[in-house]
């Protein structure tokens, strides 16, 4: 097989592993070619080239790391191939990681390496990082070429940094680089994106002056800049000069010119341009048509807009959502709401999904003609189609309510806008001001009955049962006819009902007629029979069937009364078909049936069950103008609708309005209102309502108390929840399982698991059925450290006592294990779920990932995230942030950044937790530049960095000894409205300490007190270290003594640092005094404390004390280490005790302490200086009379031996033995 064939086959096997294979999988595939690659490293380049072409940078990076680990020499060319793959995939973090790997692997990055990395950063909007790389090239002496500058200028595009782009363009001349066409086009594009149309034209003009001929891209981009600014004259001028420059205008050129005319209100010129395109041998596409339709819309030419949309298929151009949205908007501006709705309803038939622009235009059309009901219907339908209403949608809805006199609805829509993260604008505010002027006056909405009947089917979804088929669900109509004929005229109502039910939920009119035609005379003569028949359909929840019966009676000219319609509306209500209920209510005048409170009550109940609170309130408010008095049932239904829609203020408003309408609230009214207050900020209102019930002759019942207990629980007011539960028997309200469940949930939120368990036990004693919810709340309460075994015990007891654990049960147990970092048990529970018929969901995996993150098990955390994606579970930002944090704790910052870069591909917007985790990962990996880059890019992602973000970045600077940057970050925090906390200050003080800036460290410690930031033992430890490093023992001692004054208890670390400071300052007595005082402070000295004290003795030659301290360490259950022994040996050396030094050196091996260079040097120096002094005071005089020559020989032999041992130890250390 040829080399290329081998490379292709190997590449195919690598690609089969997936986009992000495990390292072991890749190694198994490549191990076959290991020998060939080691002999011929160029063979690897072919594989890398194939991976680059397929845009698989993750695999390419793993291949390069495999090469490095197996000592296969990779060249800059190989790395460039992998970085090139990152460029195409936009994986800028991986590109930077590969650049970093090149330096670490002693491969010098070249111009191509940096240029492609700059491009990768630019494609993901990382302008700051791209510019930083460009400046790094100059600093490292790597020559930047035109491609490098082009990539840097292009990176300014997404960030809209036009000034930086133009600065780079000017700088190219200074470094003797000639900008080319790509350079200028990129600069024009940046100006276009930033709205700088004059500068775009200036750059275009400069191209011609510098003999660089502009091309179609240059002119198109400049024309687009003019179009965005509405400078239609300049755009048309550019279009006209293109032929003079031997450049043929294309579709993009025409689109830009038409858009410019649209922005400038020149619809005639837009039409002229569109019609002249065939003369230029250009076939208009959908973009050209859309620009022209928008021009007609702005020029109020709705007929032309609709005509152009209709003519597009004839030109073999398929309209898209933008086409329809513009046409709908044109119809809306002209008040043609029927046409607007017709266009909107026809979009699905054209296989197009309406977007927020389409709906906004349609709602605006309804708003202009005061069709407020239709506007609200469209607004409520948007979330069902996954279309998120925006400020324009809500403002149009508010304006429609204002014009229809529906002030309640207008105010409600205005109040929910902040909850939906929508900002109030002038339109919405003014509309509500107008309604406020009219107070409670409810003028009649401007509407025509015929128009409403025509419009409602437009916004309703088409019936799937409609059609002219001759069979229904496989049953021939003939069989139905036969059944009908068999029944005859003597058919009972029960039999008739049974026959109707056999037709199914959505029968055809012909089928209904087959069944009812025989009984038509009897039904017409006995209206009560119709009521009974429709009531039977209502009990069976057959709304569509009930409506079909009514329509049959109408066609047969039978009398239809209010009782019939009410029964049909009730059937629609029970079937959840609120659209049909509303349709029947609005058609009642055509049926010559006057709607009463029962009609409205049934319709409002239909809205309530489906959460359509806007329509429920609108219908309630319209009752007085229809001369129908609202009763308790209608109010209760409307309040319940508001409760389901989370509109607690509106629910309270309706409750308070009831007495003004001479309607006395009952228990149901209060219970619904209290349930609406079941949120964190509504518990006081719920308690107020509960206490006010007796005054309104409403007796609080079990539901009332349960709702209040739940409201208090949501606000973490667990004491009040338990108080209400205890108070219930005295108020003749018997607690039920819902009451206890709510109280247990309150304990769960407060994490008081003992009380939750007591409540669960009380349920068993009272023989109340503890259901899954009861157990789930109790399991969730077990999230304190060490309480996870109780959570597991509850989980296992569930199946024994009846209720089977579900997903929520397991999720709570996994979360409890995660809180205690018991990741193995969390994974075991996750694996057990399928066996217990509980399907793991995204919450299950997120809890398991968090458990691994707390334990620092990064491999499993990432594997769980990958498993989520494989199982098509919606991994969210919580999933990614936990996995990123786990990678950070495992010191795998590259993988953390790679996960962060995957978020946009997963259609997720990174939040502050994701960025904080990534910055922390860079901090732990000592990648301070990347940490700062991430911090600066947060604002570009519309994220406000928090104190956690800044603290991690400051800590990254501290680890890299960049104390100036650390202080700069700390000082910038208040200007960005981020208050530094103790973690931020501690990191900055540590940075100053490491750099020896003790004055600055003390200044920051003082600033913490002024800023009312709590100073803890970590703050003082960092400041003391700063003083210790600069031998400022007095200040270190002062700081230690001041700690108790501010109620900060000193730790072993603080004392050890001060002992070391005193030792360095020659204050050995103070050092020993501090060591002995630690026991008085209930602190146990550690190895560091003793090492510092022994060093203090060593510096003043107090070798006896040093040996005494060393010998006392075992009594404190401390094992001397290398540092301790080295300090003691050095003390003996200074005291001339060479024999003692040798004894200590020999003891080190027995104590599992390996002698290092310091130990050997001190012992050798002791032998070289050695006199005949002995460290044992009890030696007799004979020891002093030894032969001196023999002693000297012995010493020099030991010196020679020690030097050999020292050399051997150093060699072993270099080899990693």
Nearby residues of 1010 by Cβ (< 8 Å), 6 or more positions away: none
Task: Note whether 1052 and 1089 are within 8 A (CB).
Answer: yes
1122 burial via Cβ count (<10 Å: 0-12, 13-18, 19+): middle
Question: What would you report as the CA-atom Rg of the chain, rounded to the nearest whole angstrom?
Answer: 41
Is residue 1122's pLDDT more than 80? yes
- Which CATH class for the 3-245 domain? mainly alpha
- Tens digits of per-residue pLDDT, 785-829? 567 888 788 888 886 766 788 888 888 889 888 887 788 988 999
pLDDT for the residue numbered 918: 94
Confidence band of 139 (pLDDT split at 50, 70, 90): low
Give the C-alpha separation, 716 to 37, whole Å. Answer: 64
The candidate with the shortest Cα–Cα distance to 367, out of 379, 355, 357, is 379
pLDDT for the residue numbered 802: 67
φ, ψ of residue 933 in degrees (nearest 5): -60, -45
pLDDT for the residue numbered 1205: 60
Give the C-alpha separation, 335 to 545, whole Å. Answer: 36
285 burial via Cβ count (<10 Å: 0-12, 13-18, 19+): middle
- Tens digits of per-residue pLDDT, 499-512? 888 888 778 878 88
pLDDT for the residue numbered 632: 92
- Tens digits of per-residue pLDDT, 818-855? 887 788 988 999 998 888 888 999 999 999 999 999 88
Confidence band of 622 (pLDDT split at 50, 70, 90): confident
991 burial via Cβ count (<10 Å: 0-12, 13-18, 19+): buried
- Interval 869-886 mean pLDDT: 91
Secondary structure element (H or E) that encloses residue 665, with its range: none
- Which CATH class for the 321-440+449-456 domain? mainly alpha
State both tokens at 1061: 């400071």
Within 13 A of 945's CA, how many CA atoms are on the CB side? 33
- Tens digits of per-residue pLDDT, 180-238? 899 999 999 999 988 898 998 888 888 877 777 899 999 999 999 998 888 888 888 88
Q: One fold for both 3-245 and 321-440+449-456?
A: yes
Confidence band of 418 (pLDDT split at 50, 70, 90): low
More confident residue, 1059 or 427: 1059
The candidate with the shortest Cα–Cα distance to 171, out of 182, 179, 160, 180, is 179
Is residue 1195's pLDDT more than 60? no
pLDDT for the residue numbered 107: 86
Cα 991 from chain centre = 32
Task: Note whether 98 and 83 are within 8 A (CB).
Answer: yes
Give the C-alpha separation, 9 to 27, whole Å. Answer: 16
DSSP-assigned states of every residue in 322-370: HHHHHHHHHHHHTT-HHHHHHHHHHTGGGT----HHHHHHHHHHHHHTT
The two counts, helices (H) then strands (E), for the chain are: 69, 2
Is residue 483's pLDDT more than 80? no
- Interval 649-676 mean pLDDT: 88
pLDDT for the residue numbered 648: 81
State both tokens at 978: 């981020």
pLDDT for the residue numbered 477: 29
State both tokens at 684: 């006081």
pLDDT for the residue numbered 1181: 45
Task: Note whether 927 and 956 are within 8 A (CB).
Answer: yes
The domain ranges of the chain are 3-245, 321-440+449-456, 478-595, 782-875, 1133-1170+1191-1217
DSSP-assigned states of every residue in 103-132: HHTT----HHHHHHHHHHHHHTT-HHHHHH
- Tens digits of per-residue pLDDT, 934-988? 998 888 788 889 999 999 999 999 998 899 999 999 999 998 889 999 999 999 9
pLDDT for the residue numbered 1201: 63
Q: What is the mean pLDDT of the chain?
A: 81
The candidate with the shortest Cα–Cα distance to 493, out of 456, 534, 442, is 534
More confident residue, 960 or 1208: 960
Is residue 895's pLDDT more than 90? yes
Q: Which residues pair with 476 in a beta bridge?
A: 471
Is residue 459's pLDDT more than 70? no
Predicted TM-score (pTM) of this structure: 0.51
Is residue 714's pLDDT more than 90? no
pLDDT > 70 in the chain, percent: 87
Confidence band of 1179 (pLDDT split at 50, 70, 90): very low
More confident residue, 878 or 303: 878
Is residue 911's pLDDT more than 60? yes
Is residue 424's pLDDT more than 90? no
Q: C-alpha angle with apex 721: 719 to 722, nearest 5 degrees?
A: 65
End-to-end Cα distance, the chain: 43
**46 DSSP 8-state letter:** H
- Interval 1169-1173 mean pLDDT: 54
Task: Note whether 830 and 843 are within 8 A (CB).
Answer: no
Residue for token pair 């151009």: 317
Is residue 912's pLDDT more than 70? yes
Confidence band of 449 (pLDDT split at 50, 70, 90): very low
């Amino acid at each position: 097989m040829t080399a290329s064939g081998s490379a292709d086959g190997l590449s195919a096997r690598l690609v089969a592993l997936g986009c992000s294979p495990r390292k072991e999988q890749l190694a198994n595939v490549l191990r076959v070619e290991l020998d060939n690659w080691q002999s011929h490293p160029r063979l690897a380049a072919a594989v890398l080239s194939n991976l680059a072409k397929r845009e698989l940078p993750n695999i390419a990076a793993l291949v390069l790391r495999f090469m490095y680990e197996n000592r296969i020499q990779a060249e800059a060319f190989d790395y460039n191939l992998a970085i090139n793959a990152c460029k195409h995939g936009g994986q800028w973090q991986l590109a930077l990681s590969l650049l970093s790997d090149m330096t670490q692997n002693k491969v010098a990055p070249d111009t191509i390496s940096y240029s492609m990395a700059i491009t990768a950063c630019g494609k993901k909007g990382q302008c700051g990082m791209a510019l930083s790389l460009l400046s790094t090239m100059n600093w490292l002496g790597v020559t930047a070429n035109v491609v490098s500058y082009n990539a840097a200028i292009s990176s300014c595009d997404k960030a809209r940094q036009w000034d930086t782009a133009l600065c780079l363009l000017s700088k190219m001349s200074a470094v003797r680089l000639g900008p080319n066409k790509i350079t200028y086009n990129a600069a024009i594009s940046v100006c276009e994106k930033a709205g700088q149309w004059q500068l775009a034209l200036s750059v275009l003009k400069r191209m011609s002056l510098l003999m660089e001929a502009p091309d179609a891209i240059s002119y198109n981009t400049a024309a687009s800049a003019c179009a965005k600014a509405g400078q239609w004259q300049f755009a048309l001028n550019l279009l006209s000069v293109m032929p003079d420059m031997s450049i043929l205008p294309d579709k993009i050129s025409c689109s830009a010119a038409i858009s410019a005319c649209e922005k400038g209100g020149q619809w005639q010129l837009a039409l002229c341009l569109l019609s002249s395109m065939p003369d230029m041998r250009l076939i208009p596409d959908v973009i050209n048509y859309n620009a022209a339709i928008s021009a007609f819309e702005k020029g109020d030419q709705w007929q032309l807009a609709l005509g152009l949309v209709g003519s597009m298929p004839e030109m073999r151009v398929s309209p898209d959502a933008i086409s329809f949205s513009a046409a709908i908007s044109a119809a809306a501006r002209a008040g043609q709401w029927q046409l607007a709705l017709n266009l909107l309803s026809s979009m699905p038939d054209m296989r197009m999904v309406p977007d927020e622009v389409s709906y906004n235009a349609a709602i605006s059309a309804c708003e202009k003609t005061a069709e407020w009901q239709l506007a609200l219907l469209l607004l409520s339908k948007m979330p069902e189609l996954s279309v998120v209403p925006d400020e324009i949608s809500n403002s149009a809805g508010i304006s429609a309510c204002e014009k229809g006199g529906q002030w309640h609805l207008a105010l409600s829509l205005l109040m929910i806008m902040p909850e939906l993260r929508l900002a109030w604008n002038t339109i919405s505010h003014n509309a509500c001001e107008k309604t406020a002027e009219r107070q409670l006056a409810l003028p009649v909405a401007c509407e025509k009955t015929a128009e409403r009947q025509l419009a409602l089917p437009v916004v309703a979804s088409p019936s799937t049962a409609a059609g002219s088929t001759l069979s229904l669900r496989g049953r021939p109509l003939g069989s139905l006819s036969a059944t009908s004929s068999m029944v005859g005229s003597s058919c009972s109502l029960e039999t008739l009902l049974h026959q109707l039910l056999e037709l199914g939920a959505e029968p055809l009119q012909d089928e209904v007629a087959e069944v009812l035609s025989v009984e038509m005379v009897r039904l017409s003569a006995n209206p009560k029979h119709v009521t009974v028949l429709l009531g039977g359909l209502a009990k069976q929840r057959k709304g569509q069937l009930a409506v079909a019966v009514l329509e049959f009676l109408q066609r047969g000219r039978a009398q239809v009364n209010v009782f019939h319609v009410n029964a049909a509306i009730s059937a629609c209500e029970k079937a959840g078909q609120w659209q049909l209920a509303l349709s029947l209510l609005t058609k009642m005048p055509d049926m010559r049936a006057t709607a009463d409170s029962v009609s409205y009550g049934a319709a409002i109940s239909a809205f309530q069950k489906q959460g359509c609170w806007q329509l429920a309130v609108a219908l309630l408010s319209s009752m007085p103008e229809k001369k129908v008095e609202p009763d308790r049932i209608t109010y209760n239904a409307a309040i319940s609708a508001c409760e389901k829609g989370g509109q607690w203020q509106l629910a309270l408003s309706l409750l308070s309005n009831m007495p003004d309408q001479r309607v006395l609230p009952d228990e149901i009214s209060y219970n619904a209102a209290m349930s609406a207050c079941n949120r964190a900020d509504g518990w006081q209102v719920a308690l107020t309502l509960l206490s006010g019930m007796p005054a309104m002759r409403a007796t609080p019942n079990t539901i009332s108390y349960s709702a209040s207990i739940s409201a208090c629980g949501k606000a973490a007011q667990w004491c009040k929840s338990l108080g209400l539960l205890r108070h219930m028997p005295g108020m003749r309200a018997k607690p039920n399982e819902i009451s206890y469940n709510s109280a247990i949930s309150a304990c769960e939120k407060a994490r008081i698991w003992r009380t939750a368990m007591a409540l669960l036990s009380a349920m068993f004693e009272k023989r109340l059925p503890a259901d899954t919810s009861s157990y789930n709340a109790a399991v969730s309460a077990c999230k304190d450290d060490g309480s996870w075994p109780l959570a597991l015990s509850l989980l296992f007891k569930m199946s024994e006592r009846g209720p089977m654990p579900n997903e929520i049960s397991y999720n709570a147990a996994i979360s409890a294990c995660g809180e205690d970092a018991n990741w193995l048990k969390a994974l075991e529970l996750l694996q057990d779920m399928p066996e217990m018929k509980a399907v793991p969901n995204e919450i299950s995996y997120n809890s398991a990932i968090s458990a691994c993150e707390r334990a620092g098990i990064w491999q499993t955390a990432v594997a769980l995230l990958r498993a989520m994606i494989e199982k098509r579970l919606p991994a969210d930002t919580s999933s990614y942030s936990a996995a990123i944090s786990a990678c950070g704790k495992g010191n795998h910052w590259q993988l953390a950044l790679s996960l962060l870069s995957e978020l946009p591909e997963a259609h997720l917007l990174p939040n502050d937790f994701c960025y904080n985790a990534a910055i922390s990962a860079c901090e732990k990996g000592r990648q301070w530049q990347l940490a700062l880059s991430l911090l600066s890019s947060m604002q570009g992602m519309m994220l406000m960095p928090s104190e956690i973000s800044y603290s991690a970045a400051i800590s990254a600077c501290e680890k890299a000894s960049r104390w100036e940057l650390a202080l700069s970050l700390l000082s910038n925090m208040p200007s960005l409205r981020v208050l530094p906390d103790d973690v931020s200050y501690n990191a900055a003080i540590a940075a100053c300490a490491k750099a020896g800036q003790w004055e600055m460290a003390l200044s920051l410690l003082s600033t913490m007190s002024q800023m009312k930031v709590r100073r803890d033992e970590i703050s003082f430890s960092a400041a003391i270290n700063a003083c210790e490093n600069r031998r400022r023992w007095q200040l270190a001692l002062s700081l230690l003594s001041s700690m108790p004054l501010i109620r900060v208890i000193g730790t072993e670390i603080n004392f050890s640092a001060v002992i070391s400071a005193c030792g360095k300052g020659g204050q050995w007595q103070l050092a020993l005094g501090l060591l002995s005082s630690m026991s008085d402070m209930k602190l146990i000295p550690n190895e560091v404390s003793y090492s510092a004290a022994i060093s203090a003795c060593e510096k003043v030659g107090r070798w006896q004390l040093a040996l005494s301290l060393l010998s006392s360490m075992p009594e404190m259950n401390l094992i001397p280490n290398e540092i301790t022994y080295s300090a003691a040996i050095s003390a003996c050396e200074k005291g001339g005790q060479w024999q003692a030094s040798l004894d200590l050196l020999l003891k080190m091996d027995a104590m599992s302490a390996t002698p290092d260079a310091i130990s050997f040097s001190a012992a050798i120096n002791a032998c070289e200086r050695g006199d005949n002094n002995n460290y044992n005071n009890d030696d007799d005089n004979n020891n002093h009379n030894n032969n001196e020559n023999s002693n000297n020989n012995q010493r020099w032999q030991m010196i020679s031996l020690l030097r050999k041992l020292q050399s051997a130890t150093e060699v072993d250390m270099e080899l990693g033995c």
